[in-house]
Structure 1
Amino acid sequence: MDGIQFGRRVAYWRNRRRYSQQEFAALMGRSLRWVQELEGGRRQADPQLSVVRMAAVRLSTTVDRLLSDPAVLCPAESEIDAVRAALHRHDVLTGRSDDSSAEPVPVENLRRSLVYARSGFQAGHFAQLGVQIPELLVDATRAADRHQGDDQLHAYALLSLTLELTEAAAIKWGDSELAVVAGQRAVAAAERSEDPVIQASAARHLADAMTHHGQAAAAVAFVTAAAHRLQGDLLQQGPDGLSVLGMLWLKAAMAQAAAAEADDRTPAALARAVPAFLDQADEHAARLGADGNALWTSFGPTNCKLYRVAAHVQLSEGADALAVAADIPGEALAALPRERRAHLLTDRAYAETQAGLRAQAVDTLLEAERLAPEEVLCRPRTKTLVEDLRLLGAGSSEARLRALADRCGLPR
């Protein structure tokens, strides 16, 4: 049982029943702090069945709804607004900490909070970031402003990584404008860190945001310039350097594919540059020698194959995408974070749709949903594919598609 998602469902039904946290605590015979920790996913990783049953009774709902109702997996608009508001705070915007007398969070504590949030992202839990990111942004900004010496440089690195996480979450939420704002701030903070690995990591995230925001050609120019500028330093930084350098070329490939798709004059010429960028990434993956997850990149030979699939999908080359996907070793794929595996499945579903295999596409989406529900039920990109499949028809999978569309909250 997922304690974080269980907590979100409890909060959802508590609000539906118009109970305050204090009132719900009284109904459960618990403290206010207990309820706050339960709803925040901090109380226990595996809530006891007795707690689930009592909560279901007090909230006039069912155990099944508290354990598996997908309707409450997705972030509330108010949570996304809270992230946007945090980015627009005076202290976060200017980099000058507020007038709070609170001491800056120690760098190691800040790092642990970031690792926890980033690990949740890679596990496919995107909605919870709407709650986690605002506090991280404020804490990281204060740390970068008030720490001195090496601690300040490390704090700027963590601030940049927090802004990267904001960008990545915004992409999942379908808010490319928010992603670009966060990505630009990440690049600025990375430069203050004086760390080429952090600088490259921020550059690859901004390129991704620009691509999703319809600025693919500019993203190619930006990310390749970053790769050329930082390459010498990155090659001296071991697995971290190789991983972020390889990711720069993977993002260049995706941006180039998007630029080709958007071009009305010479799309074929632009598309021909995509394999060269992917080959550059492959070279760094071969030098790395194995799959890894340095700086949450999941970079290595396997992830390079996932990006080849994604690039073919972006270029509407469904059959080619499926051929690459079929060649990915199952054992290597299983070792990747859940978010990466679910993303591949949604890309494969797109490829199957492009190849006319629509019933298979539905089955692939259902597999992705079992692996990482938020990637399918909450992400606008995937919901668009579900809607397309409804319009095109899915043959023998039509009933399963209708049920999936309902879980995605799509109108009938």
Structure 2
Amino acid sequence: MDTQGIGRRIAYWRERRRMTQSDFGALMGQSRRWVQDVEGGRRQADPNLSVIERAAQVLNVRIEVLIADQPRTQCIDRVELDAIRCTLQRHDVLTGTADAGAADPLPVDGLYGRLVHARTAYQAGHFASLGRLVPTLLVDSNRAAARHVAEDQLAAFRILSLTLELTEAAAVKYGDTDLALVAGHRAVAAAERSQDPVIMASAARHLADAMTMHGQASAAAGFAVAAAARLEPDLRTRGADGLSVLGMLYLKAAMAQAVVGASDTFRAVSAARAVPDLLGQANEHADELGADGNAVWTAFGPTNVRLYRVAAHVQLSEGADAVAAARAIPGPARAALPKERRAHLLTDLARGFTQAGRREEAVNTLLAAEREVEEEVRCRPRTRDLIEDLRLLGAGSAEGRLRALAGRCGLPE
């Protein structure tokens, strides 16, 4: 058994669970020195299985995670999602207050810097880091909004709303639609307190996404369009920020209508017909913007509109159209997008290939997405479901590559 490897993995998970060596040792019934020796691989050549089982129990991970010879990509796990949920349920965060004995609020400039770090990590595809970053940022931005006054308070509400948006986005990635919906609602409430129409529109587009994922797609489309109509006059005075969030509202409305269009409800036909018009409205705002950008972390511009066109075709099971739309995106424009967007496009394209019966190309496209952002492929339930579908359908000459990918995702054989 790889003693040093087990020690490194114990240390990794102890730190990820925010335990000191002393605290972990106490829970294990051992000293801090014992923990140091275990993590350094110095305790014994063949670790006692009962010790590893107890360590897995204390760290709340499966025992295979500690003894696996090849560590897999680390994803946000249920423990960390529960920690984020518990943070949202704290009395101070839930009520928007600060406990009497709480520390002084952090300056808004410092808080904003931490928000930039977290959102940059998300766009770079480092989703697992959000399990560590988001809870503290939620507490600190809430305290700042409760304690600061005047302009600093408005700035704190902007940061709080943007943090809640990030919470929603991470929850969507990991398939926790309940958490996404709660965070999305809270983001809209904080945005209204910020009195900033850009933040209001940004929060609205995230809530629309959460509503769609939560089975409320028709309401989501209506909400996004209503938000756009209400806020457009103010947004048009805010340059790239305003146009970007305005365009994103129409993109989210288009995706919501595509979901309705793929359903078996009486609204399906009219919803599907509405999708091109909504995408066209977004494209008009992208043309006004004049170039791709990343204002308010939207990655909005002509290229992102094309990405959503691909996603809408996939949602409507129009695989061949999705492939054609993806192939029409210029390579340099695609390469300039944030990594998360590039990987998302590739997973959508893989699904389009699957719908078109081109399963070998689907596997190769998933492998390209994995090279962009491992977590988008190995951790996201939506992508893992696609891999399972391909295993059932068969992938021809790509079977070996598909099996290896499934293994890296931790899927059962």
TM-score of the aligned structures, taking structure 1 as reference length? 0.86
Per-residue deviation at 1:321? 0.6
8 A contact 1:316–1:354 mirrored in 2? yes
Q: What is the distance in 2 between the residues matched to 1:267 and 1:172?
A: 26
- Residue correspondences, number: 374
Partner of 1:44: none
Partner of 2:56: none
Per-residue deviation at 1:144? 0.2
Q: Which runs of 5 or more structure 2 residues have no equivalent in the other structure?
A: 1-7, 26-31, 47-65
Partner of 1:369: 370
Partner of 2:194: 193
8 A contact 1:70–1:407 mirrored in 2? no
Letter in 2 for 1:288: L
Q: What is the distance in 1 between the residues matched to 2:171 and 2:153?
A: 27
Residues 155/348 of structure 1: CA separation in 2 closer, same or farther (3 Å cut): same
Partner of 1:79: 80
Q: What is the distance in 2 between the residues matched to 1:144 and 1:294?
A: 23
Q: What is the distance in 2 between the residues matched to 1:81 and 1:116?
A: 22
8 A contact 1:12–1:72 mirrored in 2? no
Per-residue deviation at 1:277? 0.3
Partner of 1:394: 395
- 1:145 and 2:141 matched: no
The secondary structure found in structure 1 opposite 2:128 is coil
- 1:252 and 2:267 matched: no
CA distances 1:123-174 after superposition (whole Å, capped 9, x unpaired): 0011110111110010010000000000000100100000000000000111
Residues 272/239 of structure 1: CA separation in 2 closer, same or farther (3 Å cut): same
Alignment of 1:50-199 (within 5 A): 69=70, 71-199=72-200
Partner of 1:288: 289
8 A contact 1:224–1:248 mirrored in 2? yes
Letter in 2 for 1:384: D
Residues 23/209 of structure 1: CA separation in 2 closer, same or farther (3 Å cut): closer
CA distances 1:188-213 after superposition (whole Å, capped 9, x unpaired): 00000000000000000000000011
Residues 58/72 of structure 1: CA separation in 2 closer, same or farther (3 Å cut): farther
Residues 148/316 of structure 1: CA separation in 2 closer, same or farther (3 Å cut): same
CA distances 1:272-319 after superposition (whole Å, capped 9, x unpaired): 100000000000000000000000000000001000000000100010
Residues 168/15 of structure 1: CA separation in 2 closer, same or farther (3 Å cut): closer
| Aligned-CA RMSD value | 2.6
Partner of 1:225: 226
Partner of 1:358: 359
Partner of 1:212: 213
The secondary structure found in structure 2 opposite 1:236 is coil
Identity %: 65
Dislocated runs of 4+, deviation >3 Å = 8-16, 19-25, 55-61
8 A contact 1:166–1:182 mirrored in 2? yes
Letter in 1 for 2:311: A
The secondary structure found in structure 2 opposite 1:71 is coil
Partner of 2:262: 261
- 1:345 and 2:338 matched: no
Q: What is the distance in 1 between the residues matched to 2:256 and 2:42?
A: 51
- 1:336 and 2:334 matched: no
- 1:385 and 2:386 matched: yes
Residues 105/308 of structure 1: CA separation in 2 closer, same or farther (3 Å cut): same
Residues 292/128 of structure 1: CA separation in 2 closer, same or farther (3 Å cut): same
Per-residue deviation at 1:72? 4.5
- 1:21 and 2:18 matched: no
Letter in 1 for 2:327: A
8 A contact 2:260–2:267 mirrored in 1? no
Per-residue deviation at 1:9? 5.6
The secondary structure found in structure 1 opposite 2:100 is coil
The secondary structure found in structure 2 opposite 1:98 is coil
8 A contact 1:70–1:377 mirrored in 2? no
Per-residue deviation at 1:101? 3.7
Q: What is the distance in 2 between the residues matched to 1:10 and 1:318?
A: 44
Q: What is the distance in 2 between the residues matched to 1:218 and 1:13?
A: 41
Per-residue deviation at 1:408? 1.1
8 A contact 1:377–1:407 mirrored in 2? yes
CA distances 1:65-94 after superposition (whole Å, capped 9, x unpaired): 99x955241122211110010010001100
8 A contact 1:9–1:72 mirrored in 2? no
